[in-house]
Structure 1
Amino acid sequence: MATFKAEVEDYDASDLVELAGGPDWTPDPTRVAILVHDMQPYYLDVLAAQVRSRLLSEVSALLKRAVDLGVPILGSGPRPATEPVQRGLLGSMWGLGPDPRQAEETALDELVSPDVVWVKKRSYSAFFATDLAEELRRRGRDQLIVAGVFATAGVLATSYDAFARDIQCFVGVESTADYTKRQHAVALTLISALTGRVQPTASLLS
């Protein structure tokens, strides 16, 4: 059970496809990797039930296409803490966070694989205090598809850090989610304007 609360609503992310846009970049299976951001039940269970179900379906389909194309898959999750202070400002805003067991859980069977590389982070961005950038360099990848939650927090922050590292970032509309439709829309709008390309999930590895 999450140690934080949020007001959530049910919405259909496909309604936000009209927000697709951004730089004229194209995901290349020989250059791109996928980061599944914070898809632990601890976070997902906060979402409205239908939002959670649709997100899981979209990310699962994306990962299956990635496997077929030989695209590397990485996952991110929080570093567990025993005291809020260990989480820095996240602790004062969101509480203790997931315990060690919760931090190791995943909501997707596709992520239970020795081929998936995990990074443990201590802030919103999956690049902060992790070796995500090094893992991408080892694989010769300079493009990154980010899927998961929450769009206005970790997904957005990761896209800014990718941009700062000259890594082209892609975000699928339906393979990300947030507490509300408005928050999701805000994140997609900022990403397409400032840090990456937003497009329908089905077109990311078509």
Structure 2
Amino acid sequence: MPIPAIAPYPLSSSEPLALLSTPNTAEHWNIDLNRCALLVHDMQNYFIEAYDRNQAPMATVLPNIQALISAADDAEVPVFYSVQPPEQKTARRGLLSDFWGKGMQTTQDAQVVEELTPLPHHHLLTKWRYSAFERTDLRQALAFEGRDQLIITGVYGHMGCQVSAVDAFMNDIQPFLVADGIADFSAEDHQRTLNWVAARCGKVVAANEALNALQARTHEVRL
């Protein structure tokens, strides 16, 4: 069943945190190059086709995620992609079928959008539920890499992105949700997601803040 078209909604790249009306409880958290990893959550054709890529939020979110991936690669920060498989068997898909039907059906549906195509050194997680942690080895992979911070980008904000942030928090991994690096069903859903994460489990940051943190080592070398 295709995702219904999602109407454009404003998402200013200059003031992305304007949507955030709840102060960050974890304001003292800071992204650390030696502790963080980047999650690109479900940026697959099936989900992104619901948006008009030429309008906000996707027109803002796609280039922001591109920039974050590039900066993470330059800083040797691990990049993880969560990707749902097509043609999921009923026993694997479970209760998701009751809410969303059969889901994606083709290899083309399941591919990451061309602008964000994973590179060979990136990590791909086969994802079965809302959270990027559920039924994947993300938790173990982060531990192996010595990472206890996760920068979260992707879709959809109030489902997989928010639930992944909660799961990170529950596993003592600091989640940083990128306000203008996620997209949702509506501006209202987007705002509620940012507010909930800021108040309950993580820190909401602008893409520029995350980008500056990822580029810190480059700036130090130039100095």
TM-score by length of 2: 0.85
Correspondence for 2:80 among 74, 77, 80: 74
1:55 corresponds to which letter in structure 2? Answer: V
Q: Could you list the runs of 4 or more consecutive aligned residues of structure 1 that deviate by over 6 angstroms after TM superposition?
A: none
Q: In the TM superposition, what are the counterparts of 1:1-206 in structure 2 within 5 Å? A: 3-5=2-4, 7-14=6-13, 16-18=16-18, 19=20, 21-23=24-26, 24-49=28-53, 50=55, 51-84=57-90, 86-102=92-108, 104-206=110-212
Q: Secondary structure at the match of 1:29?
A: coil
Q: Distance in 2 between matches of 1:157 and 1:102?
A: 26
Superposed displacement of residue 22, structure 1: 3.3
Structure 2 residue ranges without an equivalent (≥5): 213-223
Counterpart CA distance in 2 for 1:6 and 1:186 is: 20
Contact 2:131 2:160 survives alignment (8 Å): yes
**Which deviates more, 14-23 or 43-52?**
14-23
* 2:50 partner amino acid: V
- Tell me what 2:215 maps to: none
Report % sequence identity: 32
Q: Which structure's CA Rg is the greater one?
A: 2
| Distance change (3 Å), C-alpha of 1:111 and 1:28 | farther
Q: Which amino acid aligns with 1:70?
A: E
Return closer, same or farther for 1:7/1:75 CA change in 2, 3 Å cut-off.
Answer: closer
**CA apart distance, 1:205:** 3.4
Could you tell me how far apart the structure 2 residues matched to 1:113 and 1:173 are? 25
CA RMSD across the alignment? 1.9
Shift of 1:85: 5.3
Give 1:22's aligned amino acid.
Answer: T
Unmatched 5+ stretches in structure 1 = none
Stretch deviating more after TM superposition (110-119 or 181-190): 110-119
